[in-house]
Structure 1
Amino acid sequence: MLDNLPKKTSIIKTKEKWKVSASTNAKNCKNYIRELVDNLVLEPNPEKQVIALSLGDPTVYGNLQTANEVVEAVLDTVRDGACNGYVPCLGLPKARKAVAKYLSRDNVIYEEKDIILCSGCSHSLELCITVLADPKKGHNILIPKPGFPLYRTLAENLGVTVKMYNLLPEANWEIDLNHMESQIDEDTAAIIINNPSNPCGSIFDYNHLKDILDVAEKYKIPIIADEIYERLVFPGNVFVSATSVSSQVPMLVCGGLAKRFLVPGWRMGWIAIHDPIGAFENEIRTGLCSLSQKIIGSNTIVQGALPRILECTPQTFHDGLIDTLYENARIAYKYLSTVKGLEPFMPQGTMYMMVKIQMKNFPQFSTGLELMQKMMEEQSVFCLPGDAFGIPGYMRLVITIPKELIEEACKRITEFCGKYFMEVQ
């Protein structure tokens, strides 16, 4: 009987050639650092060792290693075998409790329910932008300029518009609050603040954070606080989390192990929900939970080790890391302060230093990109140009490399600038 039924005729036209197109989502995904660097012709001087002052990975040169206690915690978790399977998408309860305890300070108390574990801080940022900004509603988000370019990558990939607010180099890279406020409109869904700052190495104090949150409260806009460099501050400075500033502004705080514990490849980040007025209580908490299910949880081995990592890593390890970074920053600042045509900004923390290039004194180069390219060709030293962070005429130095290489790099930069510097009327 079934054999006698009429056959369905396909209405799909056959194609003569294969044509497989990338999705709009894929086409919208741009890594602005990679796009910029990959288009440069970088041919180092073969007679000089390449010194890369461009990589934000503190482990590259091997001089900075995580604490033995961190390693042992992970090894014991592997041997135990209890964390080899799937865990709740939000993270193991004991790991979330450990992060809540770690972040509870300065009169801010978190609970397990406030913590979501993610696959690195970049994943934390992606979830926060996704849950708050809806491209179908024409939403935009505000990001700092100069700022970490991944904010723009993540937002534009989703179809969310990005608007930039200025940081003020003459005021230790504080936010230009008037400019930030001018960028806000009825479609602004969130403001990203990055403190301590990449690329600026700056730290916002309590009063400045209070002024920022006053603007957010005025327009009822939530904050995404990127605090991946929390507590990485130099002597004379204090890290203040935005959440510890008395306000009624709901915030999603992004952080992780990558920088302070020197394990970026372990991909362990988190979101801490700070919600003094209950604005996130229903939809946002539920939305973050749903979004976390996309990757079915972060690295389970590291999750299992998190309580010991956060509780047992000695303060001497953290102090030693800061001492190393601070010494490298002082070396670079001392050298480059004497170089005609350059104006370094002494960082207050993190792993970076911004340097202004007086382009008028280097007329041979029309852009900072060209100058960086020539410096690589002649001196085998490469820094990321400010263009990568939205601010031409600057360069960012990474200060995580060994002391002797920082000194050598600064000597080469000095030699290079001395060769091309020209006085102008």
Structure 2
Amino acid sequence: MPLTHHTAKDYAYPIREIVDIANSISPYVSVPIRWENIGDPVSRGHTMPNWMLDVIRDTLPEATGYCPTRGVEHTREFLAGLHNLESGPSIQAKDILFFNGLGDAIASLMSVLSPEIRMIVPEPGYPSYSTLEALRCDKACISYGLDNAHDWQINLDELEKKLKLHPEIRLLLLLQPSNPLGTLMSLSTMQGLAEIAKKYSLIVISDEIYREHVFEPQEFVSWQAVAGNLPSILLKGISKNLPWPGARCGWMEFLNCQFSGELCELQNVLEKKKMLEVCATTLPQLVIPKLFSDLRLKPWFEESNRFYSSRQHQVQIVLQKVLGVQVIKARAAFYTSVLIPSIPACYADKPPFDSQMNAILEKNWINASHDTRFCLWLLVETGICLVPLSTFGGSLQGFRMTVLQRDETKFEKLLLDIQAGLKRILMQKAA
């Protein structure tokens, strides 16, 4: 009798799995690994300003004990107040539940849903959702597409067809902004989505972890603005908004529980599950009101977003010069996705390296997508660690990279090395 569930072998998180591959080849390549796969600002030279560090240090003596299961009371009251400054349904402190990061929140949510009901997710989208959804139901994930021809908006007609075909879909996931694309849903798309959600009695889950990193002149539209009376959950956190990913601090905001017995039940079950774990980490919760009420935070966000926007523009300028490449114009977050629609089958039979390197890579190379082979080839040749775009779901071929590198010289060299790699692979096709 096996010790683990039969689906356990299918757990996958490509953003970090490629780290193991990179570490395994690192002793045998002549260049250092350049980690452009994980959205960790700290690893790319970003630091907390001293005033943030002072707040954390001063708060530490208060943070050595447990906090309530739902989260620190005055922090939840503070966040409810921030929420209620925006248009849309209001909430109270009791409608907020803290987790150790949104990864914990996602896993907790998936663990309590009935296997008979389904969640429809965007494609491409963040792989934690699609992987856990497929494993939860032991079935292929159901997804809706984003339309390249229309600024990566949701194809609402396709979505409605999927909902008619699968009446078991009860939840819809929205990534606003998108990860991996860094794109934003427009107000009209969100309004159309709200009409569909109402028509099919869906609970909408809106992951808004990058909401503070939207570039001017774009405006962020929260699901809250169009939700009306629809039962919904907003996912938020500080791990990406501040250069403090190690804080692992995220939370759910439950909207309109008074109109939905199902959502109320889901909230109660998640609270009981969190009770089994005692609570989320205390320190990051305690500093939220202090940091987010500080007048220095807004200009700090503005400066950070100008930096990320500038980096995105640099990627556009350098990589768009390669014939056959499309750099998706990101309007938020700190990633850029690059499409290679006609990427050739790089050395399809086996890795093109020496026998020692081939032995390390062979199991990851066989049956791999074309963009995965490109990313592995680039990793060996240049030490640049990217994430294949196909691993975010769907048929898109290309890669996702971060735009976090603070060092200007290193970032310019990074882009030129990727550009040279793309030219070399695409010339292979032309030849």
Note whether the superposition's TM-score is higher than 0.5. yes
What is the alpha-carbon root mean square deviation over aligned residues?
A: 2.5
Give, in whole Å, the separation in 2 of the partners of 1:119 and 1:46.
36
1:363 Cα offset (Å): 6.3
**Structure 1 segment 110-189 matched on structure 2, within 5 A:** 110-131=91-112, 133-135=113-115, 138-159=116-137, 161=139, 162-184=141-163, 185-189=166-170
Q: Which one-letter code corresponds to 2:382 in the other structure?
A: Q
Name 1:85's counterpart in structure 2: 65
- Give the letter for the 2:175 counterpart: N
Equivalent position amino acid for 1:383 in 2 = L
Quick one: which amino acid aligns to residue 422 of structure 2? C
- Counterpart of 2:86 (choices 106, 111, 135) is 106
| 1:269 corresponds to | 250
1:287 to partner: Cα distance: 1.9
The DSSP-based 3-state class of the residue aligned with 2:43 is: coil
Please report how far the alpha carbon of residue 289 of structure 1 lies from its aligned counterpart in structure 2 after TM superposition.
Answer: 1.8
3-state SS in 2 of match to 1:144: strand
Q: Structure 2 vs 1, CA of residues 360 and 121 (structure 1 numbering), >3 Å: closer, same or farther? A: closer
Q: CA deviation at 1:193?
A: 0.5
Measured at CA, do residues 421 and 152 of structure 1 come closer, stay the same or move farther in structure 2, by a change above 3 Å?
closer
**Using the alignment, how far apart are the partners of 2:282 and 2:31 within structure 1?**
43
Q: In 2 relative to 1, CA 260–186 (structure 1 residues): closer, same or farther, beyond 3 Å? A: same
In structure 1, distance between residues paired with 2:36 and 2:217: 25
Deviations 1:339-394 (A, max 9, x none): 12311111111111111113356765671111111112222222111121014412
Give the counterpart of 1:382 among 381, 385, 389: 385
CA distance in 2 between partners of 1:297 and 1:233 (Å): 31
Amino acid at match of 2:215: F
How far 1:70 sits from its partner (Å)? 2.7
In the alignment, the residues of structure 2 paired with residue 41 and residue 316 of structure 1 have an alpha-carbon distance, to the nearest angstrom, of: 38
| Cα pair 1:202 1:349 within 8 Å, conserved | yes
Task: Please state how far the C-alpha of 1:196 moved relative to its aligned partner.
Answer: 0.5
Q: Does 1:416 pair with 2:421? A: yes
- For 2:12 and 2:223, locate their aligned partners in 1 and report how far apart those are by CA, in whole Å: 29
Q: Amino acid of the residue matched to residue 325 of structure 1?
A: Y
**Matches of 2:277 and 2:194, distance apart in 1:** 32
Q: TM-score, normalised by structure 2?
A: 0.85
Q: How does 1:5-404 map to 2 (within 5 A)?
A: 21-24=3-6, 26-27=8-9, 29-34=11-16, 38=20, 43=25, 46-61=29-44, 63-79=45-61, 82-108=62-88, 109-131=90-112, 133-135=113-115, 138-159=116-137, 161=139, 162-184=141-163, 185-245=166-226, 247-275=228-256, 278-280=259-261, 282-312=264-294, 313-360=296-343, 367-391=370-394, 392-402=396-406, 403-404=408-409
Q: The residue matched to 2:276 in structure 1 has which SS?
A: coil
The amino acid of 1:367's aligned partner reads: H
Residue by residue over 1:44-79, the C-alpha shift from the partner in whole angstroms, topping out at 9 and shown as x without a partner, is 684444322211222212x21233333222211213
SS at match of 1:359: coil
Deviates more, 1:408-417 or 1:281-290: 281-290
Q: State how far apart, in whole Å, the 2-side matches of 1:196 and 1:95 are.
A: 25
Q: Is the 8 A contact 2:343 2:426 kept in 1?
A: no
* Contact persistence 1:359–1:368 (CA under 8 A): no
CA distance in 2 between counterparts of 1:367 and 1:106 reads: 44
Q: Distance in 2 between matches of 1:421 and 1:167?
A: 26
- For the 8 Å contact 1:372–1:385, the answer to whether it is kept is yes
4+ residue segments displaced more than 6 Å: 39-42
Q: Matches of 1:48 and 1:24 in 2, distance apart?
A: 40
CA distance in 1, matches of 2:126, 2:114: 21
Specify every segment of 5 or more residues in structure 2 that has no aligned partner in the other structure, as ranges: 349-368
Which amino acid in structure 2 is aligned with residue 260 of structure 1? N
| Offset of residue 416 of structure 1 | 1.9
Superposed displacement of residue 224, structure 1: 0.7
Q: Report the Cα offset of residue 130 of structure 1.
A: 4.1
| Count of residue pairs the alignment pairs up | 401
| Distance in structure 1 (CA, Å) of the matches to 2:425 and 2:33 | 21
- Using the TM superposition, give the Cα deviation of residue 103 of structure 1 relative to its aligned residue in structure 2, in angstroms: 2.8
Q: Normalising to structure 1: TM-score of the pair?
A: 0.87
Give the direction of change, closer, same or farther, for the CA distance of 1:68–1:25 in structure 2 (3 Å limit): farther
Larger Rg belongs to: 1
> 1:407 maps to what in 2?
412
Given that 1:332 and 1:406 are in contact with CA atoms closer than 8 Å, whether structure 2 keeps it comes out as: no
CA contact (8 A) 1:232 1:349 kept: yes
What amino acid does structure 1 have at the position aligned with 2:423?
A: G
Identity of matched residues, %: 21
Q: What's the offset of the Cα at 1:126?
A: 2.8
| Deviation of 1:91 (Å) | 0.7
Range with bigger deviation, 190-199 or 241-250: 241-250
Determine if contact 2:87/2:224 at 8 Å carries over to the other structure. Answer: no
* Secondary structure of 2:42 counterpart: coil
> Greater helix share, 1 or 2?
2
Deviation at 1:89, TM superposition (A): 0.4
Instruction: Report the residue type matching 1:274 in the other structure.
Output: L
Q: SS of the counterpart of 2:336?
A: strand
Equivalent residues of 1:254, 1:270 under 8 A apart: yes
